[in-house]
């Protein structure tokens, strides 16, 4: 993450704005939180595991500025309504203002990629609890909490799995499709507030979630073979698109599901 001293931050596109990013301790969420900080935003790093990584990222962001703290790590289980409310409460208390940006990145994926016939009810319910209910709870809180008048941004990370519909992705693709529906409906419900709501649907990205479950080289080979650009995505490939959407330049993009997958789908 590039350092952003007080002398250069005045020209940054997200200067003075507060962003909440869930699932930000690792992978795509971590890249998004880091990139938004580079663009000038103060960032709340939501996490449910890997607390050391979340705290390290907060320390790195805060260490790049001589002014007041610009990042805070907060543990949150997005499937629990009280946790989500507390996340927004802590963000507002720590930075003295309402958030301008919410990025829903927290997600789970069964690393075994079971078929529908072999997916346990417990695994199905946990997938929907985090990916669908978690997005709903965060969007519900954002609908009344995000800055109004000056506008605001909601970005939900979906998946190209909702379009590819590959074997082994039944519960995951269904949960992400539900997250897309909640977010795009929210865009219409927030008409007149200046708040936009969009989804990004990444393809295979080189993260711990993608590589979980073993067969690392084989999984990568298959994914790369299906991508016209001939490589896996990197977390920053997604983060850069988020940065555009939450900036003033992204104001005319609303209620969309944007595929960010190098042509995978």
- What is the spatial distance between Cα 183 and Cα 187, in angstroms, rounded to a whole number? 7
User: How high is the pLDDT of residue 215?
Assistant: 81
Backbone Cα Rg of the chain = 18
Residue 107 corresponds to which tokens in the numbers above? 């997600």
Tell me the pLDDT band of 216, cut-offs 50, 70 and 90. Answer: confident
Report pLDDT digits (tens) over 110-167: 999 999 999 999 999 999 999 999 999 999 999 999 987 778 999 999 999 999 999 9
Average pLDDT of the chain is: 93
Residue 57 corresponds to which tokens in the numbers above? 């990222």
User: How high is the pLDDT of residue 64?
Assistant: 59
What residues contact residue 48 under an 8 Å CB cut-off, 6+ apart? 23, 75, 76, 77, 78, 106
169 is catalytic: no
- What is the spatial distance between Cα 182 and Cα 19, in angstroms, rounded to a whole number? 20
pTM for this entry = 0.93
* 91 has a pLDDT exceeding 70: yes
How crowded is residue 150: how many other Cβ atoms within 10 Å of its Cβ?
A: 12
State percent of the chain over pLDDT 70.
95
Domains of the chain (ranges; CATH) run 6-260 (3.40.50.720)
Tell me the pLDDT band of 4, cut-offs 50, 70 and 90. Answer: very low
Choice among 47, 113, 169, 172 that is catalytic: 172
C-alpha distance from residue 213 to each of 68, 102, 112, 239 (Å): 41, 30, 6, 25
Report pLDDT digits (tens) over 169-189: 999 999 999 999 999 999 999
* 57 has a pLDDT exceeding 70: yes
User: How high is the pLDDT of residue 65?
Assistant: 63
User: How high is the pLDDT of residue 10?
Assistant: 57
Out of 18-32, 59-73, 196-210, least confident range: 59-73
* 105 has a pLDDT exceeding 80: yes
CA 96 to chain centre: 23
Three-class SS state of 13: coil
Asked whether the beta carbons of 104 and 140 are under 8 A apart, the reply is no
- What is the spatial distance between Cα 69 and Cα 84, in angstroms, rounded to a whole number? 22
CA angle 62, 67, 72 (to 5 degrees): 35
């Amino acid at each position: 993450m590039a350092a952003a001293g007080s002398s250069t931050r005045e020209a940054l596109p997200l200067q003075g704005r507060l962003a909440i990013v869930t699932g930000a301790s690792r992978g795509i969420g971590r890249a998004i939180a880091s990139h938004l900080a580079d663009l000038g935003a103060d960032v709340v790093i939501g996490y449910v595991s890997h607390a050391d990584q979340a705290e390290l990222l907060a320390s790195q962001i805060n260490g790049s500025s001589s002014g007041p703290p610009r990042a805070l790590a907060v543990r949150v289980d997005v499937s629990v309504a009280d946790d989500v409310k507390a996340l927004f409460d802590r963000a507002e208390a720590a930075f003295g203002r309402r958030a301008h940006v919410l990025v829903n990145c927290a997600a789970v994926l069964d690393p075994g990629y079971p078929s529908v016939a072999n997916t346990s009810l417990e695994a199905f319910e946990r997938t929907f609890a985090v990916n669908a209910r978690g997005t709903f709870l965060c969007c519900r809180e954002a609908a009344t909490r995000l800055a109004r008048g000056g506008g605001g941004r909601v970005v939900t990370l979906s998946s190209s799995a909702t379009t590819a519909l590959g074997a082994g992705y039944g519960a995951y693709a269904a949960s992400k499709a539900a997250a897309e529906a909640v977010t795009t409906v929210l865009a219409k419900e927030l008409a007149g507030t200046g708040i936009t709501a969009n989804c990004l649907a990444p393809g295979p990205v080189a993260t711990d979630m993608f590589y979980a479950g073993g067969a690392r080289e084989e999984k990568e080979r298959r994914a790369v073979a299906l991508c016209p650009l001939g490589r896996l995505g990197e977390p920053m490939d997604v983060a850069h698109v988020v940065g555009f959407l939450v900036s003033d330049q992204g104001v005319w993009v609303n209620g969309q599901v944007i595929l960010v997958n190098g042509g995978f789908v």
